[in-house]
Amino acid sequence: MRIAVAGLGLMGASLARALKANTDYIVDGWNRNPGVTDYAVERGYLDGAVKDFTEYDVVFLALPPDVTMDFLETKTFADNAVVADLCGVKKPVEDAVYAEKRSYRYVGTHPMAGKEKGGIKHSCPDLFKGANVILTRGRYTDEDALNIVARIYRKIGCGKILLCPADYHDAKIAYTSQLAHIVSSAYLKSKTAKGCEGFTGGSFQDMTRVGGVDEEMWTQLYFLNEENLIGELETLIANLGQYLSALKDGNEEKMKELLREGSAVRNALKCYKD
């Protein structure tokens, strides 16, 4: 099998390296900056540089949403090739693909992996080890293509493969990822942040870990999923208001009730390892 990876930042380069380490596929790459592709080839992350996307059985697009949608619209792929994107929003990409008939078979994917720092120099072949991967299934999804992509992700050590509609994915991600990044960014803007060295522990690290985002890419993601994200922000702001009111009113019983409610939700979740 011949695989092309377009976009050699953290995710794309890590995917290429994982494929090279765990499969016998031919893995070539493409990047908007050709120097990055050369860097990857020189270090053995890739077999070579992509010259023509029609030469590949599977193409992974590890690109920002706007570039991904432009790629899907303007690039030529082999007839019946599998083309999968790694974008953090799925419905807008899926809508762009199915706006007209395509010769390739599209699969929307979202590996739940990453680091705080991006770029090929922070890539690693183990980035996807144990990470869950979401694959989106719509009425036009080719089941064979879906299975091909799922097998590839399993080969590189991914954990659970989850299947869901694109709009369901976007609603969940607005809460589990996008809202968390906004909260972290807002939290960091307190004037108390200055000079806090030596006063921080695990709670501070957890709250600020995703605060240093790529503003270009994340702004795109937020606005492509704005309806879901607005709803989550409004809910959070309303919930925070209850804690503020309890403090201002000196209502300790209300505060205990709010904390108990939060603990109950946390304890009912099945996404923790502890």
**What is the chain written as a DSSP string?**
-EEEEE--SHHHHHHHHHHHHH---EEEEE-SSHHHHHHHHHTTS-SEE-S-GGG-SEEEE-S-HHHHHHHHHH----TT-EEEE--S--HHHHHHHTTS--SSEEEEEEE----SS-SGGG--TTTTTT--EEEE--TT--HHHHHHHHHHHHHTT---EEEE-HHHHHHHHIIIIIHHHHHHHHHTT-GGGTT-TTS--HHHHHHHTT-S--HHHHHHHHHHTHHHHHHHHHHHHHHHHHHHHHHHTT-HHHHHHHHHHHHHHHHH-S----
Residue 214's pLDDT is: 84
CA distance linking residue 118 with residue 207, whole number of Å: 19
pLDDT of the chain along its 274 residues, tens only? Answer: 999 999 999 999 999 999 999 999 999 999 999 999 999 999 999 999 999 999 999 999 999 999 999 999 999 999 999 999 999 999 999 999 998 889 999 999 999 998 777 899 999 999 999 999 999 998 899 999 999 999 999 999 999 999 999 999 999 999 999 999 999 999 999 999 999 888 999 999 989 988 888 899 899 999 999 999 999 999 999 999 999 999 999 999 999 999 999 999 999 997 766 5
Q: Where are the domains of the chain?
A: 2-164, 169-268
CATH number of 2-164: 3.40.50.720
Rounded CA-CA distance 237/80 in Å is 47
Q: Compute how many other C-beta atoms are within 10 angstroms of the C-beta atom of residue 268.
A: 7
Per-residue model confidence (pLDDT) at position 248: 98
The reply to whether domains 2-164 and 169-268 share a CATH topology is no
> Which residues, in sequence order, are CB contacts of 145 under 8 Å at separation 6+?
82, 105, 106, 107
CB 56 within 8 A of CB 78: yes
Give me the pLDDT at residue 273, please: 62
Query: Is 252 exposed, middle or buried (CB count within 10 Å of its CB: 0-12, 13-18, 19+)?
Result: exposed
CA pseudo-torsion sign 229, 231, 237, 242? negative
Architecture field, domain 169-268: Orthogonal Bundle (1.10)
C-alpha 157/C-alpha 33 separation (Å) is 29
pLDDT given at position 16: 98
Is this prediction's pTM over 0.85?
A: yes
The residue among 46, 138, 63, 157 whose CA lies nearest residue 99 is: 138
